[in-house]
Amino acid sequence: MSKEYDILIIGSGIAGLMYALKVSRLGKVAIITKKNRMDTSTNYAQGGIASVFSKTDSFENHIQDTLRVGCGLSNPTVVKKAVESGPKFIKELAALGVDFTHRRGIFDLGREGGHSHKRVVHSADHTGRNIESALLTALARRKNIDLYENHTAIDIITQYHAGRDIPRSGPSCFGMYVYDNRHDKVEIFSARLTMLATGGAGYVYQHTTNPDIATGDGVAMAYRAGAKIANLEFVQFHPTRLYSSEEEPFLITEAVRGEGGRLISTDGSRFMEGRHEMKELAPRDVVARAIDMILKQTGDEHVYLDISHRGRGFIEERFPTIMNKCLSIGIDPAVEPIPVVPAAHYFCGGVMANLTGNTSIKYLLAAGEVSCTGMHGANRLASNSLLEAVVYADYASKWTIKNFRHIKKRRMLSIPNWDESGVFDHKEWVVVSHDLQTIRSLMWNYVGIVRSNTRLKNALDRCNLVRRHIKKFYRQNPVTTEVLRLRNIADVAVMLIRSALERRESRGLHYNLDYPKADNKKFRRNTVIQKHFNKD
Ligand code: FAD
Ligand code: SIN
């Protein structure tokens, strides 16, 4: 039960698809994705992609905004390269069929938090949907690419699985064990080169803007295989998720504030005035913390975002998706404010990747939200993540093309089939959903926007307990998507809390009441976690 490919890509979001398009001519390529091909965070992106197109803007402005928001942890070389190649990649996406909004023949540019200039290229408020469908349409025209939906990667195959010692130089990747969700079987996808493009981990938190595929699988799998993981404590909370009783999350893009939207508390006061010179367009951590404080002080469940003064015509044209969504739940943004709350949105940390997309595991690349490249540092500038994803898909593809002759010739190992002996159904599945809720709510309540040592230690003890429990359950029971999800979420939660405890300061998205200031002497560095080769 083994499928053999030259290149295996995990994930069908912007990072995985862009990389696939660029390497498809090299050989046999497979993309696996754990639900439907469109089930990605990319598909829900609203605001757009940050890039310099305005005559009054400059690369230097974009670079400085990114570095300032990154609070001293972004890598200036990475930022400079990414920002300067932005316009090229926007044009490339447009050529692939992404229908960006134009005004008088040029890109219409939105403004978002932390940006000193208007520079967010967008397709109304459904940029991600247009990108995802354009890339999938382009992909359908390529030969050599097999796309497997409803296939969940379980673990990265290294020497360890072939019964070999991990060499001193570190592990190598030989492909993945993959669970075919529909046919309930585990297969080997053997590959000479693997690209991890599994997206973020917002679903680790009870309240998130992310779809339920965002469970940190890539970070958890890479950690288990011995990769270096960095900066997981930097979780970005988006200030304005729609407050509603519906389970499906829905974002109210920051571009609404860029178009003049005002944040008001339930007593009608415009609370960002006097808190930051950029008011509602302050960086996200500042706005999210202000809302968090107001909710804690007042006991209210939400604040409001008011764009009604821009009038119905404008809102319908600029924000059609938001208008329709709000109307569907009985809120009319043209005449009343929209109730909003902060929610976990983006992971700045992840699997460490260098400027060629290579990770610390040989023949394993990473791009997109799963990776930590040095672009975002301690906080991400709005709309810089789609940019980072296309830039790194491109770097990785260039490295792949340059080294493909050598990659093609590498010696592969014989990998044993998945072993389910000794496994039987304990029929205790209720604990899986209960444990999932426990972790998600612990993370929200103790490891959220504002942290403290007591809360973090408490959360670590309890998450470790659940993690031990799920590890045992995983070994004794047949594979299911629910168990795989919980196993990954538990691993990510524990790593995130360990990173947060290690950073004894406040910087960017990590705010700890016990150390309210940044400590540049000790902590102007990445927090790196690495397991020592499959022994944990
Ligand atoms: P994704 O698009 O999330 O794709 C991940 C893929 O990996 C999916 O196909 C998933 O099924 C697959 N996968 C995961 N685990 C497994 C597994 N174990 N096995 C198989 N497949 C797996 N950023 C911006 O720059 N601008 C914006 O306007 C913007 N708006 C956003 C709005 C929302 C609501 C959200 C949630 C995010 C937004 N972001 C925005 C962030 C940005 O969309 C994401 O960071 C980016 O799309 C991530 O792309 P990706 O390719 O890395 O991952
Ligand atoms: C938004 O549209 O507010 C999200 C943009 C982003 O996450 O970069």
Angle, helices 385-409 vs 14-23, to 10°: value is: 40
C-alpha dist (Å) from residue 272 to 44, 310, 343, 377, 507? 27, 19, 18, 25, 20
Pairwise pLDDT comparison (427 vs 312), residue with the higher score: 312
What pLDDT score does 419 carry? Answer: 83
Q: Amino acid identity, residue 168? A: R
One domain, residues 436 and 486: yes
What pLDDT score does 246 carry? Answer: 85
Probe target for ligand 2 pocket from 250, 253, 325, with the most ligand atoms within 8 Å of CB: 253
One domain, residues 274 and 142: no
One domain, residues 362 and 451: yes
Report whether pLDDT(432) > 90.
no
Ligand 2 neighbourhood includes 382 CB (under 6 angstroms): yes
What pLDDT score does 48 carry? Answer: 97
Mean pLDDT of the chain: 95
Query: Which residue's CA is the nearest one to ligand 1's atom 40?
Result: 45
State the total domains in the chain: 4
Q: How sure is the predictor about 475, in pLDDT bands with cuts at 50, 70 and 90? A: confident
Among residues 37, 284, 380, 503, which one is catalytic?
284
Q: Look at residue 102 and tell me if it is in a domain.
A: yes
Gap between the Cα atoms of 50 and 41, Å rounded? 17
pLDDT for 477-530, tens place per residue? 889 999 999 999 999 999 999 999 999 999 999 999 999 999 999 999 999 999
Cβ contact 120:41 at 8 Å: no
Report whether pLDDT(535) > 60.
no
Q: Which ligand lies nearest the alpha carbon of 370?
A: 1
The rounded Å distance from CA 391 to ligand 1 centre is: 15
User: Which residues constitute the domain of residue 471?
Assistant: 150-234+348-379+428-536
What pLDDT score does 1 carry? Answer: 66
Q: How sure is the predictor about 147, in pLDDT bands with cuts at 50, 70 and 90? A: very high
What pLDDT score does 429 carry? Answer: 76
Report whether pLDDT(428) > 80.
no
Mean pLDDT over 194-219 rounds to 97
Q: Which ligand lies nearest the alpha carbon of 380?
A: 2
Gap between the Cα atoms of 377 and 494, Å rounded? 21
Report whether pLDDT(534) > 60.
no
Distance from the Cα of residue 200 to its chain's centroid: 3
C-alpha dist (Å) from residue 82 to 16, 153, 254, 433, 444? 18, 29, 22, 41, 32
Query: Which residue's CA is the nearest one to ligand 2's atom 8?
Result: 383
What pLDDT score does 533 carry? Answer: 61
Ligand 1 neighbourhood includes 34 CB (under 6 angstroms): yes
CATH label of the domain that carries residue 481: 3.50.50.60
One domain, residues 531 and 451: yes
- Extract the tokens encoding 324: 């329709």
Mean pLDDT over 214-227 rounds to 98
Looking at the chain, the whole-number percentage of residues with pLDDT higher than 70 is 99
Q: How sure is the predictor about 536, in pLDDT bands with cuts at 50, 70 and 90? A: very low
Ligand 1 neighbourhood includes 209 CB (under 6 angstroms): yes
pLDDT for 299-355, tens place per residue? 999 999 999 999 999 999 999 999 999 999 999 999 999 999 999 999 999 999 999
Interacting residues of 439 by C-beta distance below 8 A, sequence separation 6+: 204, 463, 466, 486, 489, 490, 493
What pLDDT score does 431 carry? Answer: 81
Question: Among the atoms of ligand 1, which is closest to the Cα of residue 484?
Answer: 18
Ligand 1 neighbourhood includes 40 CB (under 6 angstroms): yes
Report whether pLDDT(532) > 80.
no
Gap between the Cα atoms of 473 and 216, Å rounded? 19
Q: Look at residue 110 and tell me if it is in a domain.
A: yes
- Say what the pTM is: 0.97
One domain, residues 257 and 291: yes
One domain, residues 216 and 325: no
Gap between the Cα atoms of 532 and 189, Å rounded? 24
One domain, residues 251 and 319: yes
In terms of Cα–Cα distance, which of 426, 430, 409, 411 is closest to 482? 430
Q: Look at residue 258 and tell me if it is in a domain.
A: yes
Q: What is the secondary structure of 142-208 as a DSSP string?
A: -SSEEEESSEEEEEE--GGGGTPPPPTT--B--EEEEEETTTTEEEEEEEEEEEE-----GGGSSSB
The rounded Å distance from CA 48 to ligand 2 centre is: 7
Gap between the Cα atoms of 6 and 4, Å rounded? 7
Report whether pLDDT(426) > 70.
no
Residue 284 falls in the annotated catalytic set: yes
Secondary structure (3-state) at 18: helix
Q: Which ligand lies nearest the alpha carbon of 50?
A: 1
Interacting residues of 80 by C-beta distance below 8 A, sequence separation 6+: 59, 63
Q: Look at residue 263 and tell me if it is in a domain.
A: yes
State the burial class of residue 12 (Cβ atoms within 10 Å of its Cβ: 0-12, 13-18, 19+): buried
Report whether pLDDT(444) > 90.
yes
